[in-house]
Homo-oligomer: A and B are copies of this chain.
Amino acid sequence: MKPDSVAMMELSGLHKQGAVCIFGTGNFGRSLGFRLLQAGYEVTYGSRHPGKSALLPKGAKVTTHEEALQEAQVIFLAVHREQYGFLASLSPALEGKVLVDISNNVRRGQYPESNAEYLRKLVPGAVVIKAFNTISAWALQAGGLDANRQVLICGDCASAKQAVADIAHGLGLAPLDRGSLRAASELEDIPLQLFPLWRLPLRLGAGLLAAFFTYNVIRDVVHARVTDGKDRSFRIMISLANKAFPDVALVMLSLCYLPGAMAAVLQLRNSTKYRRFPDWLDRWMLCRKQLGLLALAFAVLHVLYTLVIPIRYYVFYRRATIYVGLMQENKTLEFNNVMAWRSDAYLSMGMLGFALFVLLGITSLPSVSNSLNWREFGFIQSKLGHTTLLLCTAHTFLYGWDNFLQPSAYKWLTPRSYMLALVVPCVVLALKAVLITPCVDRAVGRIRQGWEREGKGRAPEDNANNHLPLIL
């Protein structure tokens, strides 16, 4: 008999006589049992009080812990770490069994060692596997269609890991081996993470927003109060917020593209790509997508705050004042062709830039970016991204128009906030303009293909899909 067919028989056996044991009758235990039963496994629950267990899925047996693990090779442990004590007495019966630890903690660093490693000490005879802790009870019951299907597995015994992976496959989930049991603490931290990649961009966004907002409040409300004694504080809600939003959006969008340009400059200076980037640059590059999406959120707010302008009472009042003023002086408004061009130009730059920005946001949705190949993704995130930045910068310049040169724009000698916001985008666009000149572009390309100045040591051993994504 070929070894192949032996393995096959084994596997096919799983569906018929595959007995699996679950310790713990909580939500997760119940959902897991439900799904296992549906996939054809025999499920036995081990419980301290077999008679009292309610709400268990139909078709499952409930018995004592000792009995439950008799027939099963794989035991799922769906109880809190605090209850692991009862396992000590079961140690002999657990000898050689696969014990799957699916527990999670309430906060990070709650215990010095991972639950799985603690379990291994407690029951040294069993093979402890950490798995399923990143899957939710709800995802198991909903059938895995609408939720994360990835089951991360770690442990020290390859065959035990494979057995758990097979069960995960049988449940329609996607197992992924994450190495030895030392990785367990990492796996246990995953469900406790709260947007780790978003932290830096969110802080940056909040900081920039506070800075630009305060700056505008001082230049506008405080200045008016101090100089003229006027109360313009009502402008805080919309007028000033709508000055801070676009500034933050523009700066953050340009901060998405700055690290890429800096990386290219570094590679040019080092004349190699085989030197690591400084840590801060690596971290920056990893959160570019989040930076961009946050910039998009600010841009959306800017658009909304701009579009409600004509509905505001203040605008209604000001227009009425202008119209009535015109009448009282018996003047007609002179048509100003330059004003018409300027207003239409900055509005349309802004709208085109915003539309492209939304497109960038859509392509960064996981399911959309997954359906793009490497070249398409790069095209959108780099070419369209820089075009977006260009359009938005042009939008701001056209909005400013001749204010850059008028002394009256500099109240208390401070420039308007959009002038400050233009600094970073201009630097990024200038850098990019240099990097895409043919000679520099060729040099960077050569370096990214593995070329080095010394040119001796290393062959260009690399293939085409080697760039870090110039993501949004």
Contacts and interface: CB of A to CB of B under 8 A. Distances in A.
A457 to B, nearest CB: 5
A462 B373 contact: no
Interface in A338-373: 339-345, 347-348, 351-352, 354-355, 358-359, 365-373
Contact of A463 (B12, B80, B147, B300): B80
Interface stretch (A167-175, A202-210, A421-429, A432-440): A167-175
Interface string A5-30: 11111111111100000011111110
11 contacts: A6-B6, A7-B10, A11-B163, A15-B159, A55-B276, A103-B464, A191-B373, A194-B376, A237-B348, A314-B343, A366-B368
A336 B314 CA distance: 9
A283 to B, nearest CB: 15
Interface residues of A, number: 161
A450 interface: yes
A413 interface: no
A281 interface: no
A137 B463 CA distance: 10
Nearest to A102: B463
A172 B304 CA distance: 42
Interface string A439-472: 0000000000110000001111111111111000
Contact of A148 (B5, B297, B370): B370
A343 B462 contact: no
A380 to B, nearest CB: 9
Given A193-B376, A370-B147, A234 B7 contact: no
